[in-house]
Amino acid sequence: MWYLLMKAGVSGVLIAIISEVAKRYPGFGALIASLPLVSVLGMMWLWKDRPDPANMAAHAEATFWFVLPSLPMFLVIPLLLRQGFGFWGSLAAGCVLTIVLYGAMTWTMARFGMRL
């Protein structure tokens, strides 16, 4: 239980730091947020819990493929905000788009014999 709390605490502190930096320096906050810190932390926690090279390789590869359909969200949100849409609606639209693209990526990769 302590290990789970420690993982949650470290991950939460990282998110808090990013949001605080972004308040003052939006570009630098975005740079930090764009780093694959969550993925790296996730891989470190996964490796500690289950040090299996095949499982880690599958995880890292699937992460790569799932990053691609998430990228358009970061173009849709600013586009909608600049068009006068509210933040929550823009965020929701970006998230819905990402979910649809995740489904499309999963379906497409399955057609090529890759299970994500």
Per-residue pLDDT of the chain (116 residues; tens, 9 = 90+): 898 899 889 888 988 999 999 999 999 988 888 888 888 988 999 999 999 999 999 999 999 999 999 999 999 999 999 999 999 999 999 999 999 999 999 999 999 998 88
pLDDT at 107: 96
Burial of 63 (0-12, 13-18, 19+ CB in 10 A): middle
Residue 68 near residue 42, CB atoms below 8 Å:
no
pTM score: 0.79
Q: Are 106 and 113 in contact (CB under 8 A)?
A: no
Q: Give the model's pLDDT for residue 27.
A: 93
Asked whether the beta carbons of 56 and 47 are under 8 A apart, the reply is: yes
Q: How many residues does the chain have?
A: 116
